[in-house]
């Protein structure tokens, strides 16, 4: 009898975590490494949020919490969705988990049966298909391309939907591409979904507040109220509030799904960290002044990176609408050789050699389901980004 579950043989490790860990190990051994592989803001958690956590500790808010979250946070979530997205939810339609990944996993675990299909646009966050597989479902991929800004097109979506489709996972702005759907683009998608009542929408809005210029963020149930009853809207405090380590995600949606997720979570982790939940209350209810500062900094970094990468021989880098990633194509460099004779046959070869030769860590696009590309995070300082992009330019220029 095998010790390990068969499902593990069907699941790939997270490429983003692996590359980040490899960069850390090289750096610890004395190698000059710049890591652009991690999806984490480099800003500090705003002071009023940290102070709320200190005060929660002083009040002895250190005991088990309700599985679905403390009432104050669930009420803050209700107010957030109404204030920012025009969506009306009751507290009983909300749930809090230990990060956005936990929320998504529990939703899939609570709803998927063998044979159920989950539509996932490429490129996708590396964990989506693996979570579907772990929960017994079947990922069904639908292609996007650079010509359409890596955004799902209505005709392509229509072609992949079947009577077995239970969910579609949407992520706007996107990890890894930074692509975000404008209202008319989202409406084209929701119009298709209206014609398929068996399909539920799991929308990952974790980068909601990180959009640039005059881009107007929208979420599916906001654009199409007819989908309200079959949409689970996931969000969290990690990106917009620089709270990755606090591990708080949340969602709102149909009460039967929320109850099922509560049931799963009750046998799995129970409630999220009490102190982190009180900090999240302060994040959602408190001052939002830092958001403009974050956005301005990220937009400047985005523009810097896009400009410098487009000056690198063989790279083509579109300008994304949001998040803090770019997703350049390295197609023109496939088949080239490094100075030591190594042939760049894939985008994975490209990022491997880039790390070895220039000490810059990025993640290959094929890990996100679409290559030959690479994902670069610009969640670091302008000085570091300039140095990293200079190294990338030098590496690309050295290929023959």
Pair of tokens at residue 60: 């002895």
- pLDDT band at residue 14, thresholds of 50, 70 and 90? confident
pLDDT of residue 294: 98
Q: Please tell me whether residues 185 and 316 are part of one structural domain.
A: no
Residues 201 and 138 placed together within one structural domain of the fold: yes
Residues of the chain with pLDDT > 70: what percent? Answer: 100
* Statement to judge: residues 275 and 334 lie in one domain: no
DSSP state of 378: -
Mean pLDDT of the region 146-160: 98
In this structure, the answer to whether residues 28 and 79 fall within a common structural domain is: no
Structure-model confidence comparison of residues 324 and 24, the more confident one: 324
Write out pLDDT tens, residues 179-216.
Answer: 999 999 999 999 999 999 999 999 999 999 999 999 99
Say whether both 307 and 351 belong to one domain.
yes
Residue from 340, 334, 339 nearest 351 by CA: 334
Whether residue 25 lies inside any domain: the answer is yes
For the chain, report the end-to-end CA distance as a whole number of angstroms: 52
| Residue 158 covered by a domain | yes
pLDDT score for 186:
98
Is residue 351 in some structural domain?
yes
Range of the domain at 19: 6-44+290-398
Res. 220: pLDDT tops 80: yes
| Domain co-membership, 214 together with 305 | no
Q: Which of 3-7, 60-64, 234-238 has the lowest mean pLDDT?
A: 3-7
Which of 244, 265, 285 lies at the terminal end of a domain, its last residue? 285
Digit-coded pLDDT (tens) for 316-361: 999 999 999 999 999 999 999 999 999 999 999 999 999 999 999 9
Residues 91 and 106 in one domain: yes
Among residues 285, 302, 325, which one ends one of the domains? Answer: 285
Residue 358's CATH number: 3.90.1150.10
Say if 14 falls within a structural domain.
yes
Q: Look at residue 341 in the predicted model and tell me its pLDDT.
A: 95
Claim to verify: residue 347 and residue 250 sit in the same structural domain: no
pLDDT at 15 over 80: no
Q: Judge whether 1 lies within some domain.
A: no
Number of domains, the chain: 2
Residue 39 lies in a domain: yes
**Average pLDDT along the chain:** 96
- DSSP labels, 233-279: EEEESTTTTT-GGG--EEEE--HHHHHHHHHHHHTTT-SPPHHHHHH
Distances from the Cα of 83 to the Cα of 9, 87, 208, 285, 355, angstroms: 44, 8, 14, 11, 44
Tell which wins on pLDDT, 390 or 14: 390
Interatomic CA distance for residues 278 and 283, integer angstroms: 9
Q: What is the CATH number of the domain that holds 155?
A: 3.40.640.10
In the block, residue with structure tokens 């989950």: 118
pLDDT of residue 295 exceeding 80, the answer is yes
Res. 23 pLDDT band, cuts 50 70 90: confident
Res 16: pLDDT: 73
| Angle, vertex CA 109, rays to CA 93 and CA 39, nearest 5 | 85
Mean pLDDT, range 98-111, rounded to an integer? 98
In a domain, 242, yes or no: yes
Q: What is the pLDDT of residue 30?
A: 83
- Check whether residue 80 and residue 207 sit in a common domain: yes
Task: Indicate if 262 and 129 belong to the same structural domain.
Answer: yes
Residues 209 and 125 in one domain: yes
Closest CA relative to residue 366, chosen from 320, 334, 399 = 334
Task: Say if residue 307's pLDDT is above 80.
Answer: yes
pLDDT band, residue 38 (cuts 50/70/90): confident
The residue among 237, 269, 285 that closes a domain is 285
The set of residues, in sequence order, having a beta carbon less than 8 Å from that of 67 and lying 6+ positions away, is 262, 265, 266, 270, 271
Q: Are residues 91 and 32 in the same domain?
A: no
Per the domain annotation, does 87 fall within a domain? yes
């Amino acid at each position: 009898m095998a010790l390990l579950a068969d499902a593990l043989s069907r699941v790939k490790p997270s490429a983003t975590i692996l590359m980040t860990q490899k960069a850390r190990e090289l750096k610890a051994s004395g190698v000059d490494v710049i890591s652009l592989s991690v999806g984490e803001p480099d800003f500090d958690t705003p002071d009023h949020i940290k102070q709320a956590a200190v005060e929660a500790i002083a009040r002895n808010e250190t005991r088990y919490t309700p599985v679905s979250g403390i009432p104050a946070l669930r009420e803050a979530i209700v107010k957030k969705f109404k204030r920012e997205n025009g969506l009306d939810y009751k507290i009983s339609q909300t749930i809090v988990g230990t990060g956005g990944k936990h929320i998504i996993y529990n939703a899939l675990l609570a709803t998927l049966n063998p044979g159920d299909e989950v539509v996932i646009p490429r490129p996708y966050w590396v964990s989506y298909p693996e979570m579907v597989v772990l929960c017994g479902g079947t990922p069904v991929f639908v292609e996007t391309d650079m010509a359409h800004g890596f955004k799902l097109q209505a005709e392509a979506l229509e072609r992949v939907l079947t009577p077995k489709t239970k969910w579609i996972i949407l992520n706007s702005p996107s990890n890894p591409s930074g692509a975000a759907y404008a209202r008319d683009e989202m409406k084209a998608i929701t119009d298709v979904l209206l014609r398929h009542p068996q399909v539920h929408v799991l929308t990952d809005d974790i980068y909601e507040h990180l959009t640039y210029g005059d881009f107007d963020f929208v979420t599916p149930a906001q654009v199409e109220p007819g989908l309200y009853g079959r949409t689970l809207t996931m969000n969290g405090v990690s990106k917009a509030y620089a709270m990755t380590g606090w591990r708080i995600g949340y969602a709102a949606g149909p009460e039967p799904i929320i109850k099922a997720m509560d049931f799963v979570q009750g046998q799995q982790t129970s409630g999220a960290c009490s102190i982190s939940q009180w900090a999240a209350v302060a994040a959602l209810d408190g001052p939002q002044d830092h958001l403009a500062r974050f956005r301005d900094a990220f937009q400047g970094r985005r523009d810097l990176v896009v400009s410098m990468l487009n000056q690198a021989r063989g790279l083509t880098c579109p300008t994304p609408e949001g998040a803090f990633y770019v997703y350049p194509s390295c197609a023109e460099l496939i088949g080239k050789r490094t100075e030591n004779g190594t042939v760049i046959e894939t985008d994975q070869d490209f990022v491997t050699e880039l790390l070895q030769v220039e000490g810059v860590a990025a993640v290959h696009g094929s890990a996100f389901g679409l290559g030959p590309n690479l994902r670069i995070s610009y969640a670091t300082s302008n000085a570091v980004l300039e140095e990293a992009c200079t190294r990338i330019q030098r590496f690309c220029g050295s290929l023959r």
